[in-house]
Structure 1
Amino acid sequence: MGMRKGPWSAEEDHILISYVQTYGHGNWRALPKQAGEYKFTFLGLLRCGKSCRLRWINYLRPDIKRGKFSKEEEDSILKLHEILGNK
């Protein structure tokens, strides 16, 4: 059975969150092997380590700030842009 591609389901997100909370995130490349092919197949998470890492970092991490920038954040960005420009 091959790796799954495309959008992640809510169930897959839950599986990944549970795994990271239990075992932590270290070597993403080895994550499917650490969990065991049986476990991942059984749980329905047929994703490669890179896909798991990107999903965690960009969407599922609990410390990700979502929403609009505050006025202070926006002012800081504009000031830094004045100083640094488009580098």
Structure 2
Amino acid sequence: MGRSPCCDKVGLKKGPWTPEEDQKLLAYIEEHGHGSWRALPAKAGLQRCGKSCRLRWTNYLRPDIKRGKFSLQEEQTIIQLHALLGNRYKASQRE
């Protein structure tokens, strides 16, 4: 026995997200929080799978995502940790 499918794939939109879809997802999460990702698309009026909504939020729309170049201090920290730990990224994340 496996896990049940994340959604009914009939009628779901695939491909790039539109600005309107982004706005619907943002507005819904700002008002209600994300709660259950499986139930969110229907409640928010989106024709997307819950997993797609979760990934869009996590990777692109979250307000706390930092974009752009590293600061000088961040760059120095990365260089120091690499000199100390090498390519063991898991250990460097704890520092």
TM-score, normalised to structure 2's length? 0.76
Partner of residue 52, structure 1: 53
Partner of residue 64, structure 2: 63
- Report deviation, 1:81: 1.1
Contact 2:41 2:53 in 1 (8 A): no
Give distance in 2, aligned partners of 1:26 and 1:70. 34
Partner of residue 81, structure 1: 82
- Report deviation, 1:26: 2.5
- Report deviation, 1:70: 0.5
Is 1:2 matched with 2:8?
A: no
Query: For 2:39, which of 16, 30, 38 is the aligned residue?
Result: 30
Structure 2 counterpart of 1:5, one-letter code:
K
Structure with bigger RCO (C-alpha 8 Å, 6+ apart): 1
Give distance in 2, aligned partners of 1:26 and 1:71. 37
Gaps of 5+ in 1: none
Aligned residues: 79
- Report deviation, 1:29: 2.2
TM-score, normalised to structure 1's length? 0.82
Gaps of 5+ in 2: 1-9, 89-95
Higher helix residue share: 1
Give distance in 2, aligned partners of 1:84 and 1:26. 38
* Cα deviations by residue, 1:22-67 (Å, 9 ceiling, x for unpaired): 110222123235x1xxx62xxxx21111100110111111111111
Give distance in 2, aligned partners of 1:62 and 1:14. 13
Give distance in 2, aligned partners of 1:29 and 1:56. 14
Percentage identity across paired residues of the two chains: 63
